[in-house]
Amino acid sequence: MNNKTIILSLLAMASADAMAQRIQAKNEIIDCGNVVYESPVTVKFELTNKGNDLNIDQVRVSCGCTTVDYPRQTISRGDAFTVTATYDARQLGHFEKEVAIFSNSSKTPFYLKMRGVVVEEANDFTGNFQHTVGGLLVDKNDVEFDDVNRGDYPVQLIHIKNNTGETVSPVIMHLPSYITATVSPTHLAPGKTGVASLKLDSRKLRDFGLTQTSVFLGKKPGEKVSMDKEISISAVLLPDFDNMSETQLANAPEIRLSETELDLGSFGDKPTKTGTIIIENTGKSTLDIRSLQMFTSGMSVKLNKSKLKAGEQAKMKITVNKKQLRSARSKPRVLMITNDPKQPKVVIKVKTKQDK
């Protein structure tokens, strides 16, 4: 047998094995959320045989506290089947139980996982669900990661309530590379509450200052993205001054504002309102306003200079648009990132009175 024949044979064998090992799970991991102590919890893994005729030889679990039930008969190509796992919940705290399916489809097992937290008493979220997102009720549709340092991994929670008449499987869609999200529990029955955990990887934020994006909440995986499912996310990454010497700190710039809350009052008949803030460098070296950003639409900012020598001043004009501001989710604010080690982040709140 020549080399070419050997290679073709190996490729054929690999292709045959790939065709055989085609177990597909709707959810390879099912989160049970909070489980009451000594109240066994059961999950049903929905699977499909995408390969040749499937025979399950055995199913193993990671400990004796979990039992499983699975089909013993041959499962034809394209057929759906269910593997049921029950955890006895006899130990408080987090649990993660693995289910390994051994079959004729592959030499390696197909793994499933159930996880959750065993608690003495299950308590639903008692806060207010103020918003409707993707047909579900949530306590917030605007998430902010404030004062983040490089290397931080902060987490923000969104509480969810299923106000529909059917069980849903909430999912956070279109995540950027610097955000990961999990929803617990995986399946949310009518009237029940769950929580989405959003974790920020600050190492993947490219620039200092404000980074904004949108993610979307669906009632099940694979839903189409639409604006009624939108959740806004913002993160503020601060510059690092840890390596500055005492001499550098003593000679650093210092920013001072005429006011940090700009009250523009009523719009009246005007479509826009403008106010001015004076910025002064009271330090000993040049103040550098490195970033100037707005948290919401409907605002514009003009700064006559971004580098101020010691003792110099600058004028910042802030203009807000009445119509655009009405549809804004977050409060109107201006963000400045500076090289002042005492105030690397400066936020100016803008207040207006919307006339009826």
Residue 21: predicted pLDDT: 57
- Cα 25 from Cα 45, distance rounded (Å): 7
Tell me the per-residue pLDDT of 139-187, one tens digit each, with 9 for 90 and over.
Answer: 999 999 999 999 999 999 999 999 999 999 999 999 999 999 999 999 9
- Cα 332 from Cα 354, distance rounded (Å): 13
Residue 15: predicted pLDDT: 47
* SS3 at position 10: helix
Q: pTM for the whole thing?
A: 0.79
Tell me the per-residue pLDDT of 96-107, one tens digit each, with 9 for 90 and over.
Answer: 999 999 999 888
Q: Is-contact 177 195, C-beta < 8 A?
A: no
Which residues contact residue 7 at a Cβ distance below 8 angstroms, ignoring those fewer than 6 apart? none
Tell me the per-residue pLDDT of 54-63, one tens digit each, with 9 for 90 and over.
Answer: 999 999 998 8
Residue 328: predicted pLDDT: 81
| Residue matched to tokens 């499933």 | 112
Residue 109, preceding bond cis, omega within 30 degrees? no
* SS3 at position 225: coil
How many Cβ atoms from other residues are within 10 Å of residue 307's Cβ?
14
Which residues contact residue 201 at a Cβ distance below 8 angstroms, ignoring those fewer than 6 apart? 153, 177, 178, 179, 180
Strand 313-321 with 230-237, pairing? unpaired
Residue 326: predicted pLDDT: 83
Tokens of 100: 């390994």
How many Cβ atoms from other residues are within 10 Å of residue 342's Cβ?
12
Low-confidence residues of the chain: pLDDT under 70: 1-21, 354-356
